[in-house]
Structure 1
Amino acid sequence: MPLYIKIAVRYLLSLKTKALSFMTVISLLGITVGVSALLITLSVMSGFLWGIKEKILETSPHIVIFKISGKFTEYNEFPDIYLKGIDQIEAYQPFIYSQALASKDSTVVSVTVRGVPPEKDKKILGIDKKVIAGSYESINEDNKVLIGKDVALSLNVWLGDSITLTSPFGRKTPLGFIPKVKKVYVGGIIDFGMYEYDSTYIGMNLKAAQNFFDMKDSVTGIQIEIKDPYKADIVKAELEKKIHFPYIIRSWTDLNKSLFQALQLEKLAMFLVLALIVLVASFNISSLLITKAREKRKDIGILKTVGADNRFILKIFLFQGLIIGLIGTILGLTIGLSVIYFSDTYQLIKLNPEVYMMEYLPLKIGILDIVTVALSSMVICFISSIIPAYMASKEIPSEVLRYE
């Protein structure tokens, strides 16, 4: 161990002045609390973002392909032409997605009608696993639908009850525009765990949706399931090399980009705000080192007299600050990671799933976040030590030892 580090450690462990020892402990605790708070907050933001993504992936296709001009009637031969040969693609299916009104007696709610081939939809989105009452297979019948649990609550209906669907795409007659109306029966009730879906979803088979919306043999688009949904942008780029206008390709991250950007911005804002805790704690290090330098003026003078140069003295006080920062950072990381592990493993933070779309708050932290927190803490501690160390290195031995 270099001599200047030995001297730095000795100065830090010196118990001659109780006030300085207390300041050392306070500086250490400040860094520890700041690092652990920063780490836990980042894990909360990352965990919430991860939970949102998982919920979205449970209810959304990984990639969708739309046609923006004309009717999408070539959906049967489209996969054989454009989707074959891409290893990541596991399944695909046509779908219809449109708005409508659902009514029962005097109650009317706005809904989103989704028409799919029932058997294929099982594989891609696993909707059948979210049915809490009735049967998923009921939508094989043209006059039966699946509805979200909050739609059922709003309309006050149960299995076997009838509801009236009104399509915005009606037909023109000599008497004016007449909307298309269809009477359907509740064949199943679904719980997505997301209010946005539970309060608007109505599912029916593809043929029934085509007839209801007068789409004949056309669809809204094709939805695709891939092996790794987090590689959706890579698969999208590969598809864009083969598929061009008038088709548009959107990944699940594209469809929810504004939400993800908002959460990432909040995470950055929280990092900057909580980094101020570490910054404030670093002021304690500066004041501690300035006080140490004044107390050790005699020692500095003697060291310079026996041959120590300014760089040697500078290193002594720099390393005092770095040692405090290193110990505080290690303790903070240990405490923070322990809290994250136990909170996530035992699901300690419960949430209202109707509000937050998840039953508990997952805490997730990545290696990059840990490294960023540790480096930020050490850099702040290093910068706060520069001025006191520089002041100590500029002491003049003759002035210091004049009255000794």
Structure 2
Amino acid sequence: MAGALTDRLAGLRTRFQRGSTPPFAGFEWIIAGRYLRARRRGGGVSVVAFFSLLGIALGVATLIIVLSVMNGFRTELLSKIIGINGHVFVSPIDKLFTDYADLSERLSKVAGVRAAIPLVEGQAFASSPYGGAGSGVLVRGIRGEDLDKIGAIASNVKSGSLEGFDDGSGVAIGRRLAESLGVQAGDQINLLTPKGASTPFGTAPRTKGYSIKAIFEIGMTEFDSTFVFMPLTEAQAFFNRDSDVSLIEVYLDNAESVAAMRPDLEMAAERPVLLTDWRQRNRTFFGALEVERNVMFLILSLIVVVATLNIISGLILLVRDKSSDIAILRTMGATPGTIMRVFLINGALIGVVGTLSGLALGILITVNIKGIQRVLFPSAWDPTVRFLAEIPAEMNANEITVVVVTSIALSLIATLYPSWRAARLDPVQALRYG
């Protein structure tokens, strides 16, 4: 066996001397792999390499998870907000919408418009006939045929029914509002508004009881705890409106085409109107989400940067530990380029394996994040604070690619200095003092 090893070393030396070893040859990978393993005694260098790999893996996984959750938040909130509200809000300027039926019909015929829904909106105070604390609500008067067009309501009725919504004085309320008032489908709810009948002494508040026809749950606390839908004609009477509506909500086939649709909608209105789109109404909210997402990306990127610094320190320790080996390889004819490539491979293996491990871990946790939250933190997610009932997550292939490529690139950059330092090692000095 000793003879075979001697022959291999002799052959390797001959190849070194002839300069016939190609870059990144097999023996360079073998040496790099052996340097990553723990020594029989001590094993300190391999421990450093392990923690460098672990740091990169955790950094990449954390970035993927956080970015996916932030994307999920934006998508879920956007779908909830647009699902129950229109994309464009048409409000009167100098003339009330008494002809709302004709106006909504004209708007609905514009190419790219899915529906145009007239609404009466007003604030009210809701209370239960059984006593207890009441709650402020947003009452929306809507035609029954239009309520069916809002998929977020019609498809999320949890109890009761929307059949015959226009008949009588029944209302549909959110599940969280029903829970806070202690009522259910079929019970009564009392609504109070300051916009009642006009009297010689001013406007008198109006209070009226309504039966609960349906209870819905959209999954967004802001809507489930404050929205009350009632028949349009009943809302006009309740808020003392003279057969007009507050606004007309326009639902588009493509929510992103609001800017292009404005001229067509203004032309269809045939009068001066105020157009407000969903971006304008929620600009501050979604702007804050975007800022938070970018800040989180920068902060969590520091984890990967720190992990790459560990690669630098680990390789410097490895160069010191293997200085005698490097000197022997140099005396056998190994070029500085060969030595440099050995340590480049070493650092690259740590970076690539760590990045791929973090990628797998991040995807695994992201895919199962709702189940993990329910098992490990069942009571930690308060929907009244975080708007949504559960943690959303949506992976973006482009963002994941950027994270992976950046992590590998930083890892490769981190190997340059230690590799260059190893290549410059003087074999005579290394053998003398190593």
Partner in structure 2 of residue 123 of structure 1: 149
> Which residue of structure 1 aligns with residue 7 of structure 2?
none
* Partners of 2:433 and 2:159 in 1: CA distance: 92
User: Aligned to 1:374, which of 404, 414, 420?
Assistant: 404
Match of 2:261 among 239, 245, 256: 239
Question: Mapping of 1:55-94 within 5 angstroms?
Answer: 55-79=80-104, 81-87=106-112, 89-94=113-118
Which runs of 5 or more structure 2 residues have no equivalent in the other structure?
1-20, 267-271
Q: Paired residue for 1:102?
A: 126
Secondary structure of the 1:147 match is strand
Deviations 1:341-398 (A, max 9, x none): 3445898555555555555434321102211221221132123223223333444567
Q: Does residue 10 of structure 1 match 2:37?
A: no
Return the offset for 1:333: 1.1
Change (3 A) 1:249 1:370: same
CA RMSD of aligned residues (A): 3.6
In 2, the alpha carbon distance for the partners of 1:59 and 1:287 equals 55
Deviation readout 1:242-301 (Å, 9 max, x if unpaired): 3456321312x5433333333333333333333333222222211222133332466368
TM-score, normalised by the number of residues in structure 1: 0.81
Gap change, CA 1:2 and 1:189, over 3 Å in 2 = farther
8 Å contact kept, 1:114–1:201: yes
C-alpha offsets along residues 191-243 of structure 1, whole Å, 9 cap, x if unaligned? 3243322332222111222222233232222223344xxx4122x01212334
Alignment of 1:352-363 (within 5 A): 356=386, 358-363=388-393
> Following the alignment from structure 1 to structure 2, what is the Cα–Cα distance between the partners of residues 385 and 337?
27
Which of the numbers 240, 243, 256 marks the counterpart of 1:214?
240
State whether residues 194 and 206 of structure 2, in contact with CA within 8 Å, keep that contact through their aligned partners in structure 1. no
The offset of 1:115, in angstroms, is 0.5
Please, which runs of 5 or more residues in structure 1 have no aligned partner?
A: none
The match for 2:277 among 230, 236, 250 is 250
* Cα deviation, residue 35, structure 1: 1.9
Q: CA deviation at 1:58?
A: 4.3
Residue 26 of structure 1 is matched in structure 2 by 51
Distance apart, 1:324 and its partner CA: 1.6
Contact 1:8 1:317 in 2 (8 A): no
Contact 1:67 1:248 in 2 (8 A): no
Aligned to 1:279: 305
Report the residue type matching 1:383 in the other structure: I
Instruction: For residue 384 of structure 1, give the secondary structure of its aligned residue in structure 2.
Output: helix
In 2, Cα distance between equivalents of 1:317 and 1:164: 76
Contact 2:312 2:414 in 1 (8 A): yes
When structure 1 is superposed on structure 2, of 375-384 and 99-108 the one drifting more is 99-108
Which amino acid in the other structure matches residue 333 of structure 1? L
User: Partner amino acid for 2:276?
Assistant: I
User: SS at 2:211's partner residue?
Assistant: strand
The question of whether the paired residues in 2 share the 8 Å contact of 1:314 and 1:390 is answered with: yes
Name the CA distance, whole Å, in 1 between partners of 2:69 and 2:353. 24
Query: Does the CA-based 8 Å contact 1:38-1:373 persist in structure 2?
Result: yes
1:260 counterpart letter in structure 2: F
In 1, distance between residues paired with 2:249 and 2:361?
Answer: 45
Q: Aligned partners of 2:24, 2:169: CA distance in 1, in Å?
A: 85
Alignment of 1:1-400 (within 5 A): 2-4=22-24, 6=26, 8-14=28-34, 15=37, 17=39, 18-79=43-104, 81-87=106-112, 89-103=113-127, 108-157=134-183, 162-170=188-196, 172-175=198-201, 177-192=202-217, 193-227=219-253, 231-234=254-257, 236-244=258-266, 246-251=273-278, 253-294=279-320, 295-296=322-323, 299=326, 303=330, 306=333, 308=335, 314-343=340-369, 351=381, 356=386, 358-395=388-425
The number of equivalent residue pairs is 396
1:113 positional shift: 0.9
Q: Deviations over 1:31-61 (max 9, x none)?
A: 2232223323333333344443344344333
Paired-residue identity, %: 31
TM-score, structure 2 as length reference: 0.76
